[in-house]
């Protein structure tokens, strides 16, 4: 089990690096350069390859091996970083945009492959909880490393050396994957053999979609992953920029939001994995979603304070920490729910099924995150955060109903 966790955690770590660059480093960099919140929000379009990944998931399911796909995508990420190191964002902004878009495309293919491996490797409630903890913690650690740590030192190290460092990290992971014994597991080979018997699905792709949608619990899970982060995503995206406008410098924000708050997120994700081995997922989700709604009430109240002060800065850091802690916990619970649903599917479509659910999850966050900046520019921070709060409360009610009568209801023993 330890080998599985190390393998999954490391791959999700490098997969989180592009997200950290774009969600934590790039917005602060652009805001410091004087760009509007609407323009910053539109950078979410760079995540578009994640929305399309379900289109090439069947190809990853049926062509080649997981080892080959992983080595190719991680090596591609290393080469992309080398290209970005040669560009100065002030003079070659479109070149930087192209490299970030390429990083997202490669990371999305890597994600399909790692998710498929995880579905086959993790068995039982305990392994699912710990495996998804490794997934979320690894991904968030990569985000902290790229978006928090590098943001704190970019003024000293510079853009080029920062991407050179990332290239060496990716090349090292590619070598690790090439020799990883966990990919020799007989279960994964068995799945590869099973895929040879379903080539007709490639000719008739609608058969794959019928299989995906017929998996028990899929319709409810689709709605859930599209909506569960809407209010939180708006707050997570906009509250740091409110602090940048009124209370913190870019370096302070890089430390408190990019490092400290994300460390709380990692702690929340880790706790989620441990709690899942002891308690039912339905009872955990009911409590955590109510707590998230209460935390958003607290954060929204801070928007009324515009004068900088040590007290306000401390309350803002507390709000960010609670928000990221609960967000990390919810993410682990969500990805465990998704994987549990996927394991009910046929082995030949499991990677595609999980990619489909994770695509919807990204789509829900991406669409709202892209619109959040324009919404704040239009109606202001207080009104926008009221909408975020309503969306968060609505999700809590959705979960509460599902644990009573729906997909998360506990079955009598």
Tokens of 140: 């968030």
What single-letter DSSP state applies at residue 87? -
CA distance between the termini of the chain: 28
Tokens of 357: 């659910």
pLDDT at res. 318? 92
> Which of 45, 399, 389 shows the shortest CA–CA distance to 235?
389
Q: Identify the structural domains of the chain with CATH numbers, from first to last.
A: 1-199 (1.20.1250.20), 209-405 (1.20.1250.20)
Count CB neighbours of 359 within 10 A: 22
Percent of the chain whose predicted confidence (pLDDT) is above 70: 78
Q: Buried b / exposed e across 7-35, counting CB within 10 Å, b at 16+? A: bbbbbbbbbbbbbbbbbbbbbbbbbeeee
Residue scoring higher pLDDT (29 or 19): 19
CB 208 within 8 A of CB 362: no
Expressed in percent and rounded to 5, the helix, strand and coil fractions of the chain are 85, 0, 15
Is a pLDDT exceeding 50 seen at residue 106? yes
What single-letter DSSP state applies at residue 349? G
What residue has token string 């989700």? 285
Tokens of 246: 């009124």
Count CB neighbours of 341 within 10 A: 22
Answer whether 0.85 is exceeded by the pTM.
no
pLDDT at res. 124? 63
What single-letter DSSP state applies at residue 196? G
Rounded Cα distance, 296 and 393, in Å: 9
pLDDT at res. 292? 93
Note the pLDDT tens digit of each residue in 246-275.
Answer: 878 777 877 788 678 878 888 888 888 788
The secondary structure of 127-157, three-state, reads: HHHHHHHHHHHHHHHHHHHHHHHHHHHHHHH
- By the 10 Å C-beta count (0-12 exposed, 13-18 middle, 19+ buried), 77 is classed as buried
CB 100 within 8 A of CB 146: no
Q: What is the mean pLDDT of the chain?
A: 78
Is a pLDDT exceeding 70 seen at residue 95? yes
pLDDT at res. 298? 93
For 173, half-sphere exposure in the C-beta direction (CA atoms, 13 angstrom radius) is 27
Rounded Cα distance, 343 and 187, in Å: 14
Report, as an integer, the average pLDDT of 148-175: 77
Note the pLDDT tens digit of each residue in 325-373.
Answer: 999 899 888 888 888 888 788 776 777 788 788 888 877 877 776 677 7
* CA 323 from centre of chain: 15
- By the 10 Å C-beta count (0-12 exposed, 13-18 middle, 19+ buried), 363 is classed as middle
What single-letter DSSP state applies at residue 258? I
pLDDT at res. 156? 66
Note the pLDDT tens digit of each residue in 185-212.
Answer: 544 444 444 444 444 454 455 666 777 7
């Amino acid at each position: 089990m330890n080998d599985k966790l190390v393998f999954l955690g490391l791959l999700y770590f490098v997969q989180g690096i592009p997200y950290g660059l774009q969600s934590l480093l790039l917005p602060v960099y652009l805001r410091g350069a004087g760009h509007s919140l609407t323009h910053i929000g539109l950078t979410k379009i760079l995540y578009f390859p994640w929305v399309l990944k379900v289109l090439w998931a069947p190809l990853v399911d049926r062509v080649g091996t997981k080892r080959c796909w992983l080595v190719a995508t991680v090596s591609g990420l290393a080469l992309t970083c080398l290209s970005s190191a040669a560009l100065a964002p002030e003079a070659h902004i479109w070149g930087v945009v192209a490299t970030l878009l390429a990083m997202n495309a490669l990371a999305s293919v890597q994600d399909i492959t790692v998710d498929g491996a995880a579905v086959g490797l993790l068995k039982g409630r305990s392994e699912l909880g710990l495996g998804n903890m490794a997934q979320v913690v690894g991904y968030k650690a990569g985000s902290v490393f790229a978006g928090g740590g590098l943001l704190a030192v970019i003024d000293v190290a510079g853009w080029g050396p920062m991407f050179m460092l990332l290239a060496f990290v990716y090349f090292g992971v590619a070598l690790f994957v090439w020799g990883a014994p966990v990919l020799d597991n007989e279960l994964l080979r068995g799945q590869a053999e099973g895929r040879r018997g379903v080539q007709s699905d490639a000719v008739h792709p609608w058969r794959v979609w019928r299989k995906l949608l017929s998996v028990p619990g899929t319709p409810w899970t689709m709605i859930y992953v599209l909506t569960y982060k809407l209010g939180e995503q708006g707050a997570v995206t906009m509250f740091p920029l409110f602090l940048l406008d009124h209370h913190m410098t870019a370096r302070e924000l890089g430390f408190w939001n990019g490092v400290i708050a994300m460390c709380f997120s990692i702690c929340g994700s880790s706790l989620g994995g441990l709690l899942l081995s002891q308690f039912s997922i339905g009872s955990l989700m009911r409590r955590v979603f109510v707590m998230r709604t209460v935390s958003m009430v607290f954060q929204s109240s801070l928007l009324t304070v515009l004068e900088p002060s040590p007290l306000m800065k401390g309350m803002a850091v507390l709000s960010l920490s609670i928000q990221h802690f609960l967000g990390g916990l919810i993410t682990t619970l969500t990805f465990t729910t998704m994987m549990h649903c996927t394991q009910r599917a046929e082995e030949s479509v499991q990677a595609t099924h999980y990619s489909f659910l994770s695509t919807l999850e990204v789509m829900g966050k991406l669409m709202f995150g892209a619109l959040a900046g324009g919404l704040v520019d239009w109606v202001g921070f207080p009104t926008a955060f009221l909408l975020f709060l309503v969306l968060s409360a609505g999700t809590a009610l959705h979960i509460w109903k599902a644990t009573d009568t729906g997909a998360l209801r506990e079955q009598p023993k």
